């Protein structure tokens, strides 16, 4: 028997997007007036004459690949590339417009906060509901119940309706259910970013255990370190199309090279973020010393990172800002304003721009990621992993051209006695 558990052939998914001619912002009085006018116009004007333009949008186009049993596949790409649409088709949440997919085995999916849970049911009831959906008997679910609860760390809230859970609690329980109820195929979207760092590490460890048991994993994430740590193979999604599956190291390198020119980035639509969300990052830009947009620096250059932050609270907010510079494997530099005793005020319902200057960072030739965070009180309002990337190219540091393989440089002197 073939060991292929997923076979996708020519998958395509289209959506019809409607555009009303002359659409504009309307006040309440305009809406009331328009409703009355439209009631009369519908009686006089046939539906076919109304000006509604429809556009066909292809979220996926001709996607084909095969996944073998026990493989750990990473799926990477920018926002809007079609990653989540692909996973929804594989999870049988939506049907493809064309093409076909063959799946052999029981599949469990964690695509977004709340997927597969009934908000009115308690955590305990949702565990049994999800198990039943996966085709498990009540006895099989009971045998895994204690492991699920211990992993999710929600013992105190087990008999509380999940609609009262925080997003972090929701995801902890959802992941625990998906990972412990023994599906043959586990599909995880970037929703794990909602959890804290310790829980993300715990999840990666559990997925490693799942893979060693011979089960298959499909994992979508913007966190290249997580992709490299977990996945043996990966593919890139770009504008609804996919590249051929290849080794994760080569695929990640190719992906980072393809996005290295992104020096000015919109962040409003990033889904892989955690925090309460009432204060959030809207844009991010890399600048050179002359204020020009650029994310390529020479060794020893100052790095300028500009962000726009929106306050949706109905009051002024005093916030704490932080960012870190990382390779795909580890954190190297922390720029936490609290370390300098700094806080900043963002007026009620406004957007404000902040710039962080990293003075001559001791970074060698290479590509680096930036994580962003903003805190209000002691809670994160917005936290984005791999919000943007910049590159360090040739130059001199401390009067020398660096050619060593280490990512961090240091000023030093040798002396002879």
Is residue 307 within 8 Å of residue 372, measured between CB atoms? yes
Decide which of 219 and 393 is more confident.
219
DSSP helix, strand, coil percent of the chain (3-state; round to 5): 30, 35, 35
User: Which of 63-72, 128-137, 151-160, 380-389 is the least confident region?
Assistant: 128-137
Domain limits, the chain: 12-57, 60-259, 264-401
Domain 60-259 and domain 264-401, same fold? Reply is no
Mean pLDDT confidence for 399-414: 66
Report which DSSP code applies to 339. G
- How does pLDDT run across 74-85, given as a tens digit for each residue? 888 876 778 888
Closest CA to 372 of 295, 272, 255, 260: 272
Q: Spell out the residues 6+ positions from residue 310 whose beta carbon is closer than 8 angstroms to its own.
A: 279, 280, 282, 350, 351
What DSSP assignment string belongs to 133-193? HTT--HHHHHHHHHHHHHHHT-GGGTTSBGGGS-HHHHHHHHHHHHHHS--SEEEE-GGGG
- Provide the 8-state DSSP code for 314: S
Q: What is the pLDDT of residue 375?
A: 93
CA distance 181 to 155: 18
The per-residue pLDDT for 311 is: 94
CA distance 326 to 222: 13
Architecture of domain 264-401: Distorted Sandwich (2.70)
Please determine, for residue 32, whether its predicted confidence score (pLDDT) is greater than 70: no
Whether the predicted pLDDT of 167 surpasses 90: no
* pLDDT tens-place string over residues 281-294: 999 999 988 888 88
Q: Tokens 């006895």 correspond to what residue?
A: 139
What one-character-per-residue DSSP string does 212-274 give? HTT-EEEEE-S-HHHHHHH-SEEEEEETTEEPPPEEHHHHHHHHHHHHTT--EEE-TT--SEE
Mean pLDDT value across the chain: 78
Output 71 or 34, whichever has higher pLDDT.
Answer: 71
What are the φ/ψ torsions at residue 135 (nearest 5 degrees)?
90, 15
Contact partners, residue 19, CB within 8 Å, separation at least 6: 52, 53, 54, 55
Burial 15-25 (b: 16+ CB within 10 A, else e): eeeeeeeeeee
pLDDT of residue 260 exceeding 60:
no
User: Mind listing the pLDDT tens digit for each residue in 104-150?
Assistant: 877 777 666 556 678 888 888 888 887 777 667 788 888 888 888 88
pLDDT class of 28 with cuts at 50, 70, 90: low
Residue 321 has pLDDT above 90, yes or no: yes
Residue 184 predicted with pLDDT over 90: no
Q: Please state, in angstroms and as integers, the Cα–Cα distance from residue 370 to each residue in 21, 137, 193, following that order.
A: 41, 46, 15
DSSP 94: S
Q: Once rounded to an integer, what is the mean pLDDT over residues 379-400?
A: 79
Token digits of residue 47: 């539906």
- Of 79-83, 197-201, 265-269, 340-344, least confident by mean pLDDT is 197-201
- Asked if residue 22 has pLDDT above 60, the reply is no
Least confident of 184-193, 225-234, 310-319, 364-373: 184-193
pLDDT digits (tens, 9 = 90+) for 332-361: 899 998 888 889 999 999 999 999 999 989
CATH architecture of the domain with residue range 60-259: 3-Layer(aba) Sandwich (3.40)
Q: What pLDDT was estimated at residue 355?
A: 94
Task: Give the pTM.
Answer: 0.56
Tell me the torsion sign for CA atoms 167, 171, 172, 174.
positive
What integer pLDDT is reported at residue 59 of this predicted model? 82
Q: pLDDT band for 312, please (50, 70, 90 cuts).
A: very high
Q: How far is CA 280 from the centre of its chain?
A: 15
How many Å apart are CA 224 and CA 38, to the nearest integer?
A: 52
């Amino acid at each position: 028997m073939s060991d292929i558990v997923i076979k996708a052939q020519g998958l395509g998914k289209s959506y019809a997007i409607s555009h009303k001619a002359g659409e504009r912002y309307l006040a309440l009085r305009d809406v009331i007036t328009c409703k009355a006018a439209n009631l009369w116009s519908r009686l006089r004007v046939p539906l076919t004459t109304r000006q509604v333009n429809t556009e066909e949008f292809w979220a996926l186009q001709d996607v084909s690949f095969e996944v073998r049993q026990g493989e750990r596949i990473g799926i990477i790409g920018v926002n809007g590339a079609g990653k989540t649409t692909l996973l929804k088709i594989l999870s049988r949440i939506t049907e493809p417009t064309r093409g076909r997919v063959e799946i052999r085995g029981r599949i469990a999916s964690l695509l977004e906060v709340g997927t597969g849970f009934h908000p009115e049911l308690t955590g305990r009831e949702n565990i049994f509901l999800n198990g039943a959906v996966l085709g498990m008997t009540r006895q099989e679910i009971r045998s895994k119940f204690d492991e699920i609860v211990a992993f999710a760390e929600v013992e105190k809230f087990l008999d509380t309706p999940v609609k009262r859970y925080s997003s972090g609690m929701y995801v902890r329980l959802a992941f625990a259910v998906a990972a412990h109820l023994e599906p043959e195929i586990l599909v995880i979207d970037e929703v794990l970013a909602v959890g804290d760092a310790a829980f993300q590490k715990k999840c990666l460890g559990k997925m490693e255990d799942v893979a060693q048991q011979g089960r298959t994993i499909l994992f979508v994430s913007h966190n290249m370190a997580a992709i490299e740590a977990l996945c043996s193979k990966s593919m890139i999604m770009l504008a609804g199309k996919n590249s051929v599956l290849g080794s994760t190291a080569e695929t990640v390198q190719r992906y980072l090279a393809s996005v290295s020119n992104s020096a000015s980035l919109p962040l409003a639509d990033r889904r892989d973020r955690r925090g309460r969300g009432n204060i959030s990052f809207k844009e991010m830009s890399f600048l050179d010393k002359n204020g020009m947009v650029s994310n390529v620096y020479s060794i020893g250059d100052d790095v300028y990172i500009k962000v726009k932050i929106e306050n949706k609270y109905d009051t002024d907010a005093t916030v704490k800002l932080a960012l870190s510079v990382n390779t795909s494997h580890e954190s190297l530099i922390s720029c936490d304003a609290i370390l300098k005793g700094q806080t900043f005020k963002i007026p009620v319902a406004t957007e404000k721009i902040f710039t962080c200057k990293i003075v001559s960072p001791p970074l060698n030739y290479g590509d680096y990621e930036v994580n962003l965070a903003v805190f209000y009180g002691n809670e994160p309002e917005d936290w984005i992993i791999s919000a943007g990337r910049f590159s360090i190219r040739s130059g001199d540091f401390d009067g020398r051209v660096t050619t060593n393989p280490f990512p961090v440089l240091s000023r030093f002197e040798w002396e002879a006695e």
